Copies of this chain bind each other. A is one copy, B any other.
Amino acid sequence: MDTAILDALAAAVGPGHVLTEPDARAGFERDWSGRWHGDALAVVRPADTGQVSAVVSVCADAGVAIVPQGGNTGLVGGGVPRQTAPARPIVLSTSRLDALGPVEAATAQLPAGAGVTLAAAQRAARDAGLDLALDLGARDSATLGGLAACDAGGLRAMRHGTARRQIAGLEAVLADGSVIASRMSGMVKDTAGYDLGALLVGSEGTLGIICAVRWSLVARRDARAVALVAVDAIEDAVALAQRLRPALASLEVCELMDAAGMAMTAGHLGVADPSGGAPWTVLLQCAAAEDPLDELAAALERAGVGERARVAADATGRERLMAVRERHADAIAAIHGASVKFDVGVPLASLAGFVTRVGEVARSASPGAELVVFGHLADGNVHVNVLPAQPVASGGPEEAALDEAVLGLVAECGGTVSAEHGIGVQKPAYLRLSRSPAEIAAMWAVKRALDPAGLLNPGVGLPAG
């Protein structure tokens, strides 16, 4: 059976783009953290939407599951193969779906293949005098298709929204091999039927395979100002975000870091801790057409935190302050090693309560654990890193207890178990904490309607239904 399928896949994309050798497959079969891995029948690399459709049709006929993969930068295991029955799945890599541009000036939209990296798309936008608003650390590998499939957020969502708000159109292949297009002609207004594209955004490759997008660009705002503000209590950090956001139109980054993370990252970078050891630190970045430094400084004065603020004097200073935030994950990995990470969201009004209680709650499941909490303050999106006293086995009972404890607290605070990383294979069991039985039933109804055989990324996104 396998030979016939592989022959059909080779006929669809060319034999050089069906990777079956273990060495060639290996990089696609394991996520970058090493936490999730599995065996694929093959890695298949179609070159255009028509080839994606052909690949899906071959798999549908053969009952072979499909794991779509972009830059393989996901954090919840949704992009690497897992055990499927009766056959192993294929990995459908979007790497060759790399058509890019040109930028359409009249609509400020950038058409691009799903496999284009965020960094390449950002460069294309900037070369055309505009900017692509979404930004995150994995920009050199993460692809537009993956960002769309996961409704990525990142650093600047507080101003520009998540991927959903920036995707003007998309083209995708459904589970039966059919091609759908949603607003791919650049028309902003189009109310002819349900917006299937909007449904696919954030569906993690389980309802269709995104092949191309039109990304809405924004004005280029090259003048920046960055400040770090040390505060004594999490309530002060939240209050500062609540106050600055409406008052400072140019604000586009508003991040939170705790003392443990600041100390670790400063140590890792070999610099003095710029917070001076404060319990909490808020990082702010403004972007505008003209220098927003005075505006930022004045807003900090009015907020009564002028004396606790450290404002970058120049580009080098701005980069240094931003690096302290962006290198948190690296620092934790280098200094502590493995940690149990949670990407959660809590309404801003409940964030202080959540952060205050999460340490005790985590330690009830993992005695002696230390915590590092940082994230996107203005979005109520925090990354809780639990550094256990002893290594925690992946998939073992202590990890499950931690999941239940931390995500249970999230639910108690009215939050979401996934703010920006998605559900993947990590969190399907916890979806019930943020979504009602009726909502999960409706999601399953949609899944079964569009993928009745369950071939698209099985095991991802939804609890067993």
* Complex: chain B residue closest to A378, CB-CB: B106
CA separation between A449 and B450, bound complex, in Å?
A: 9
* A106-B245, A219-B249, A438-B180 known; A192-B418 Cβ under 8 A: yes
Copies in the complex: 2
Binds B, one of A155-163, A306-314, A330-338: A155-163
Interface residues of A in 410-427 (CB under 8 A from B): 414-423, 427
* A179-B438, A241-B106 known; A162-B187 Cβ under 8 A: no
* Complex: chain B residue closest to A430, CB-CB: B192
Interface string of A115-142 (1 = CB under 8 A from B): 0000000000000010000000000000
**Are B150 and A191 closer than 8 Å at their CB atoms?**
yes
User: In the complex, how many residues of chain A place their beta carbon closer than 8 angstroms to a beta carbon of chain B?
Assistant: 82
**For residue A106, which residues in chain B have a CB less than 8 angstroms away from its CB?**
241-242, 245-246, 348, 378
**Are A153 and B189 closer than 8 Å at their CB atoms?**
yes
**Are B189 and A157 closer than 8 Å at their CB atoms?**
yes
Interface string of A210-253 (1 = CB under 8 A from B): 00000000010000000000000000000001100110010000
- A178 is an interface residue with CB less than 8 A from chain B: yes
* A198-B164, A242-B106, A245-B106 known; A422-B191 Cβ under 8 A: yes
Nearest CB in chain B: distance from A211 CB, A: 14
Interface residues of A in 147-201 (CB under 8 A from B): 150-151, 153, 157-158, 161-162, 164-165, 174, 176, 178-181, 185-196, 198-199, 201
- A431 is an interface residue with CB less than 8 A from chain B: yes
**For residue A435, which residues in chain B have a CB less than 8 angstroms away from its CB?**
192-193
- A345 is an interface residue with CB less than 8 A from chain B: yes
**Are A416 and B446 closer than 8 Å at their CB atoms?**
no
**Are B442 and A185 closer than 8 Å at their CB atoms?**
no
**Are B187 and A415 closer than 8 Å at their CB atoms?**
yes
- A108 is an interface residue with CB less than 8 A from chain B: yes
Nearest CB in chain B: distance from A181 CB, A: 8
**Are A420 and B191 closer than 8 Å at their CB atoms?**
yes
Nearest CB in chain B: distance from A246 CB, A: 5
- A434 is an interface residue with CB less than 8 A from chain B: yes
**For residue A191, which residues in chain B have a CB less than 8 angstroms away from its CB?**
150-151, 153, 202, 416, 418-423
- A448 is an interface residue with CB less than 8 A from chain B: yes
Nearest CB in chain B: distance from A343 CB, A: 9
Given A161-B188, A187-B379, A192-B435, 12 extra CB contacts under 8 A: A106-B241, A164-B195, A174-B442, A180-B439, A187-B381, A187-B419, A189-B419, A190-B416, A190-B418, A192-B431, A192-B434, A446-B446
